[in-house]
Amino acid sequence: MNIKLPNVTLLGIDCVNAGRLSKALDISSERIEFAQVKLLTSLPVGDKRRVEISPLNSIEAFSEFCIRDLYKYVETDFVLLVQYDGFVINPESWEDNFLKYDYIGAPWLVDNWSIDNFDFPEKLYGHLVVGNGGFSLRSKKFLETSARLADEGALKKYHPEDVALCVWFRHLVESEGIKFAPPEVAARFSVEGDEHVYKKQFGFHGLQWEYIRDLVNRHPEWKIDLPIKKESWLNVDGEIKIAQAAVNDAISISEIQKEVWMETFPNEEFGITREDIMSEDFFNEQRIQKRMEVINNPDSAVKFWVAKRGKKVVGYICAERLSEFNRIRSIYILSQFQGKGLGTRLMNEAFKYFNNDNPIKLTVAIYNQSAITFYEKLGFVKGKRFDHNLEGHFVSGHEIPEMEMIKSNNTWNIRTYLKF
């Protein structure tokens, strides 16, 4: 059954190769009924959706058009702006909740590159900022507001248009009553960038097609004309490499956490539901910023290692070295990569980091038998039980029952500690 969006126009702009945009419009509207579908171009193209505009001969001209003129071509309350490399790929992830906001696009994680190359304010370092105009939902109010601010001379520069409107002059835009989607909502709407993994979002933007390899393989008829070879954007097979985490791995770690929690922790006996897991704020800005600070601090006692296949993070471990004991704070691996020795490789990185005779502690859900068996094979023994969720209570009031496990070269010390 098709999704009906009677107040949304699907629209793309391309004055370089209108044919490639036609395919993106086809894919985006395959299972969604939009009020209108428009292809804005100065080029001749055999597409009934074509709307002629004056030539846009540079990306700077494209940005100015989006800010000053786009509103003239939208009669509905909203427009879904797509490009040849950014479009709808999972209609089932559409949420009517998206229409509560005037602007929504994939969130950016602000790092040094953002600050050095795009003049992001330094105070935004480590924060998630909703932006990414390449695949974005905008209200007609947003389009009219940006055009008026430009006409009034309030916007001193236009390119890139998404950075101008979502970062440089966002305060002016918001002062006009414009509402940006929060990052946690935007993360369900779209994904962009080399370090972000596709997690069934409504759409995406960017050329890193390995994130949607399976989808592309199922639709060879699309034959999308991208300026890179198909082999390069389908090749994600190969060796899984482990390295200390970089700052830009911070969001991927949260993505791994969420996926593994959804697969592992719902449990009927203890009343833990999928809704409980979904209530966890995995993408909390403060949590991610704190993680980035830890990763970026060479003197931190807490260390992260990530396992990557290509550019995709498929697992990670977090370890802490303390004066009297060491702790495995967390270790998560995507299900399709479990049972291949990756967990042992990650644990070995932590063991090498500890490099002392202190006991090693960790906690595990008492019903996660596969994890318990894995830890026992590494020499951990069962210890005290905790009837609480170390990450905090779920909104339902339910808790994950956990127990501690300990590993040491001196079994007597362990049993003394456990009071056996």
pLDDT at position 228 is 34
Q: How many domains does the chain have?
A: 2
Alpha helix stretches (DSSP H) within 279-354? 285-296, 342-354
List pLDDT tens digits, range 58-96.
889 999 999 999 999 999 999 999 998 889 988 999 999
Q: Indicate whether 142 and 91 sit together in one domain.
A: yes
Among candidate residues 3, 157, 12, the one with its CA nearest the CA of residue 80: 12
Query: Which residues partner with 280 through β-bridges?
Result: none
As given in the structure block, the two tokens for residue 254 are: 């949260």
Percent of the chain exceeding pLDDT 70 equals: 85
215 shares its domain with 251: no
Range of the domain at 95: 3-233
Asked if 66 and 182 sit in the same domain, the reply is: yes
2-57 residue pLDDT tens? 899 999 999 999 998 888 889 889 989 989 999 999 999 999 888 999 999 999 98
Identify the pLDDT of residue 312: 82
The domain boundary residue, chosen from 233, 248, 269: 233
Q: CA–CA distance from 307 to each of 241, 242, 320, 361 (Å)?
A: 6, 4, 18, 22
Residues 325 and 186 in one domain: no
Which of these three, 216, 233, 250, is where a domain ends?
233
Yes or no: say if 275 and 396 are a contact pair by the CB < 8 Å rule: yes
pTM of the entire structure? Answer: 0.56
Q: Is the dihedral of CA 122, 125, 128, 133 positive or negative?
A: positive
Q: Are residues 244 and 269 in the same domain?
A: yes
139-140-143 Cα angle (round to 5): 95
Q: Residues 88, 127: one domain? A: yes
Domain check: are 87 and 132 in the same one? yes
Average pLDDT of the segment spanning 302-321: 92
The residue among 366 and 273 whose pLDDT is bigger is 366
**Which long-range contacts link 407-414 to residues 24+ away (Cβ below 8 Å)?**
407/359, 407/360, 407/375, 407/378, 407/379, 407/380, 407/381, 408/357, 408/358, 408/359, 408/360, 409/357, 410/357, 411/381, 413/359, 414/359, 414/381, 414/383
Last residue of a domain, one of 233, 260, 293: 233
